[in-house]
Structure 1
Amino acid sequence: MDTLEPAVDSRQYQLEQWLADQLGAQLTGVAAGSDAGFRRYFRYQHNGRSLIAMDAPPETEDCRPFIKVAAMLAESGVLVPEILAQDLEQGFLLLSDLGLQTYLDVMNSEGFSLSQADTYFADAISALIKFQLTSQPDQLPPYDEALLRRELSLFPEWYLQRHLGLTLDAELTNLLEQLFDQLINHIQPQHRVYVHRDYMPRNLMVNQGSGVGVLDFQDAVYGPISYDISCLFKDAFISWPEQKVSEWLSSYWSQAQQAGLPVPEQFADFQRDCDIMGAQRHLKVIGIFARICHRDGKPRYLADTTRFFKYLNTVAQRRPELPALKQLLALLETRIEGPL
């Protein structure tokens, strides 16, 4: 028997009692997804309208950033769920429903082509630029060196030590320190904008009207301009040809320049920034996936760590600015006696 089931049932029961008070009707929902944290979503039908209820247990989740960033995105002209009712003490939100199809669903469907991806990503780029253009300091938490390093520390703590069982001896520790310093030294000078922090096909919704709907934005920060666009094309669940990624990055860079966003004057410099910013994210995500497995009991994400090591190998081969990355990957292969 799954020992978590009674707590899950109890939370949904409380949620639906709250919804009855809000809507004047007793509703029964169906699961509409969950995320890598502890939030869950349920879909309800009421008076001919589809609604989404978020269950965010207050002991582990805070709804306030979601509410704040939703308002910021909406004000910038980006489609996000409308917050119809809220109870922060219980951790419940009632939201409008942006539909059933994520970008990832469509992109993984049979017959999906790269030319179709061009259209979808054009809408995603347009929405991202809208959000970035409204950026102001001190409105969101800073994506500063301390946060970058905390994220990087997840890789040795959870993946190398906890998952692989490696010992962080002097050689490995020294390489990690060199790599983290190299990454930070290249990332810190980048210009800052609003950063969604998980801007990828799984969190983008197909809008039947026009444009794209955006979800899972509660962790937004004020950080490097290369972050979100790098995340968009180096996804956890789908990979794209490098030539195509370069074309899409170039399209974003050109539009961002025209819009007045602070991207580098030369595309080659921007592509370098994306590679290096991406490397930081790839290491972080590998660590997070290991933590989700070993701490939270969700092993399914670990299967995608191979994809991120492929991303890292691509960066290591073309970025002499990160000599420690190539050395680290080679060392790890000898330690585990096989490919990463």
Structure 2
Amino acid sequence: MQREQIVQQWLEQIIEKQAFEIKYLAGDASFRRYARIYLPDQTYMLMDAPPEKEDCLPFVQIAAYLEHHGARVPHIVAQDLSRGLLLLEDFGDEVLANVLNSQTVDAYYLQAFKQIIQLQAIPVDPLTFPKYSVEKLVQEMRLFDQWLLPDLNIDVTETHADLLHRSYQWIIENLEHQPQVLVHRDYHSRNLMLLKGEDDLGVIDFQDAVVGPDTYDLISIIRDAYVQWPSRQVQQWIAEFYAMLSEQSHKNRDLAQFKLDVEIMSIQRHLKILGIFVRLYVRDGKSGYLKDLPRVMWYLRQELAHCPALQDFQHFIEIEVMPVFTAKYGEYAELEDVA
């Protein structure tokens, strides 16, 4: 039976004696599909996640847990995990990314920071939220040498492998010492929604949440892979967020150390993203993310420049990677700070 038929039959069981219309939305980077379900007096969102491709259980468990603790996530109206179908509260179409500009970003990001702090205050159930393990963090960084470097026809020699190993280990040592809290893991402007009549931003795509470093969600939004802001403004946001952290998070960590922690967390995430964006194209045929590669590489280079301990890795990027990368994908120009 085709997925459309499965969806139709399930909705007929859930929405009894009411006419409804299904309109599928554009896809994302996963195997999930979304559709808006139109009823005469309201709408819902359908998540269609074929069980052989996507596991809905983490989404359901985490959504219920976060909603119980006051996070603004979509309410689950109905579910059928055996068929990979969820009927969700409709958050609408107003994605934060679409309303950000130099006049609006400060207010919206302040609200986003407040909601990160709220997420970090949620007590963590280890059965629901796994630890962001060393193995996982390294595995993610290795997407850089497994996908981007081969894409650029750069052979990973023994010398390169040793350099990458040493660099990754140094990064991991720092991340393990950062305060460990609930982390959304994809907290950026395309995963936050403006909700009618509400001040809180709607939070979506949280099914990969873990317990990890308290800088992760911050850098996901201030160094968004899809949008860039002037460096001076970003530094101001880092200081504002630091001031919002709990006293426990400030313990033995001044603002200078927090800024270093931010840089190191950013390096880990951007190494991962560079690999993922290339993999989405090479393996999955999704080319839409390639245009964002130069921005992410620009971020990585700036972050490495703030970490003297990674000087050798920075040298490798500048001398061996950038000439080939620029020839293939172009180079990103820095935004000018406005006084």
When the two structures are superposed, what TM-score results if normalisation uses the length of structure 2? Answer: 0.90
Aligned to 1:68, which of 17, 40, 61?
61
For residues 34-71 of structure 1, the C-alpha deviation after alignment (integer angstroms, 9 at most, x for no partner) is: 32111111001114111000001111111111111112
1:31, distance to aligned residue in structure 2 (A): 2.3
The alignment status of 1:221 with 2:210, answered yes or no, reads yes
Contact 2:182/2:211, CA 8 A, preserved across alignment: yes
For residues 126-182 of structure 1, the C-alpha deviation after alignment (integer angstroms, 9 at most, x for no partner) is: 111111101326241110110001111111111111x22322112322221222122
The alignment status of 1:236 with 2:225, answered yes or no, reads yes
The alignment status of 1:88 with 2:81, answered yes or no, reads yes
Aligned to 2:264: 276
- Report the Cα distance in structure 2 between the residues aligned to 1:97 and 1:68, rounded to whole angstroms: 19
Matches within 5 A, 1:247-266: 247-257=236-246, 261=249, 265-266=253-254
The alignment status of 1:17 with 2:6, answered yes or no, reads no
1:26, distance to aligned residue in structure 2 (A): 5.0
* Structure 2 CA distance for partners of 1:195 and 1:337, relative to 1, 3 Å: closer
Runs of 4+ in 1 over 2 A off after TM superposition: 25-28, 31-35, 260-265, 333-340
1:336, distance to aligned residue in structure 2 (A): 5.7
The alignment status of 1:326 with 2:318, answered yes or no, reads no
- Aligned Cα RMSD in Å? 1.9
- Report the Cα distance in structure 2 between the residues aligned to 1:160 and 1:301, rounded to whole angstroms: 17
Paired residue type of 1:117: V
* Structure 2 CA distance for partners of 1:84 and 1:137, relative to 1, 3 Å: closer
For residues 176-204 of structure 1, the C-alpha deviation after alignment (integer angstroms, 9 at most, x for no partner) is: 12221221122111110011000000000
Matches within 5 A, 1:134-283: 134-136=122-124, 138=126, 139-161=128-150, 163-208=151-196, 209-257=198-246, 261=249, 265-283=253-271
Paired residue type of 2:254: Q
- Report the Cα distance in structure 1 between the residues aligned to 2:65 and 2:233, rounded to whole angstroms: 31
1:21, distance to aligned residue in structure 2 (A): 0.9
Task: Count residues in correspondence.
Answer: 325
The alignment status of 1:38 with 2:27, answered yes or no, reads no
Percent identical among aligned pairs is 35
Secondary structure of 1:185's match? helix
- Report the Cα distance in structure 1 between the residues aligned to 2:239 and 2:251, rounded to whole angstroms: 11
- Report the Cα distance in structure 1 between the residues aligned to 2:214 and 2:224, rounded to whole angstroms: 17
Secondary structure of 1:29's match? strand
